[in-house]
Amino acid sequence: MNKKISLGVAVAIVIAFVTATFAITMSVSQRIYNRLISNLQERVASYALIDELDSVVRENYYGNGSDISYNEGMLEGYIDSLNDSSSYYLSPSAYATYQASMKGEINGIGINSTFDFNSGYIKVTSVLEGSTAYNAGIKEGDLISVIDGEAVTQDNYLELTKNLNGNKLTSVKITYVRNNTAKTVSVMMGYSAKSVYSKKVAGNTVYIRIDGFYGNTAQQLNEVIETLPEDVDSIIFDVRGVKEGSIQYTCDVLKLLVPIATEGSGALATEIDKNGKETYYSSSSQSISGYKLAVLTNAATECCGELFACDLRDFGMAVLIGTKTAGNANVQKAFSLSDGSGIVLTVAKVKPYITETFEKVGLEPDITVEYAETEEADTQIEKALEYLSAN
CB atoms under 10 Å from CB of 362, counted, come to: 18
381 and 322 in contact (C-beta within 8 Å)? no
Tell me how far CA of residue 157 lies from CA of 19, 143, 171, 184, 186, in angstroms: 78, 12, 18, 18, 19
Instruction: List % helix, strand, coil for the chain (3-state, nearest 5).
Output: 35, 25, 40
The CA distance from 356 to 371, in Å, is 28
354 and 264 in contact (C-beta within 8 Å)? yes
Task: Determine the 3-state secondary structure of 15 from DSSP.
Answer: helix
Lowest mean pLDDT among 166-170, 254-258, 278-282: 166-170
The CA distance from 92 to 363, in Å, is 36
**pLDDT at position 136:** 94
CB atoms under 10 Å from CB of 366, counted, come to: 14
pLDDT in tens, 47-87: 787 778 778 877 887 777 666 677 788 888 889 989 998 99
User: Whose CA is closest to 327, among 346, 347, 354, 299?
Assistant: 299
Tell me how far CA of residue 99 lies from CA of 92, 102, 270, 344, 389, in angstroms: 11, 5, 23, 11, 42
| Residue 29: pLDDT over 60 | no
Q: Do the strands 205-210 and 234-238 form a parallel or antiparallel pair, or are they unpaired?
A: parallel
Lowest mean pLDDT among 45-54, 176-185, 232-241, 327-336: 45-54
pLDDT in tens, 201-245: 988 999 999 999 999 999 999 999 999 999 999 999 999 999 999
**pLDDT at position 271:** 97
Task: Determine the 3-state secondary structure of 173 from DSSP.
Answer: strand
**pLDDT at position 1:** 45
79 and 87 in contact (C-beta within 8 Å)? yes
**pLDDT at position 144:** 96
Q: What is the mean pLDDT of the chain?
A: 87
270 and 241 in contact (C-beta within 8 Å)? no
**pLDDT at position 25:** 55
The backbone region for 157, taken as left when phi is positive above 0, alpha when psi lies in -120 to 50, beta otherwise, is alpha
CATH class, 106-192 region: mainly beta
**pLDDT at position 23:** 54
The correct answer on CATH 3.55.50.30 for the domain covering 196-390 is no
Paired strand residues for 47: none
Q: Helices marked H in 103-176 — which ranges?
A: 132-135, 157-161
**pLDDT at position 16:** 56
The CA distance from 342 to 354, in Å, is 34
The CA distance from 271 to 284, in Å, is 18
Lowest mean pLDDT among 46-60, 267-281, 309-323, 375-389: 46-60
User: Whose CA is closest to 237, among 283, 301, 152?
Assistant: 301
Q: Is 135 exposed, middle or buried (0-12, 13-18, 19+ CB in 10 A)?
A: middle
The CA distance from 288 to 222, in Å, is 10
The CA distance from 380 to 337, in Å, is 44
DSSP states of 215-243: TTHHHHHHHHHHT--TT--EEEEE-TT--
**pLDDT at position 72:** 83
Predicted confidence band at 134 (pLDDT cuts at 50, 70, 90)? very high
Predicted confidence band at 7 (pLDDT cuts at 50, 70, 90)? low
Please report the sign of the dihedral spanned by the C-alpha atoms of residue 106, residue 108, residue 112, residue 114: negative
Question: What residue ranges of the chain are covered by domains with CATH 2.30.42.10?
Answer: 106-192
Higher pLDDT, 167 or 218: 218
Question: What residue ranges of the chain are covered by domains with CATH 3.90.226.10?
Answer: 196-390
| Residue 292: pLDDT over 60 | yes
How far is residue 176 CA from its own chain's centroid? 34
Residue 76 is inside which H or E element, if any? helix 67-80
Higher pLDDT, 57 or 325: 325
**pLDDT at position 294:** 98
Higher pLDDT, 329 or 16: 329
Q: Helices marked H in 81-171 — which ranges?
A: 92-102, 132-135, 157-161
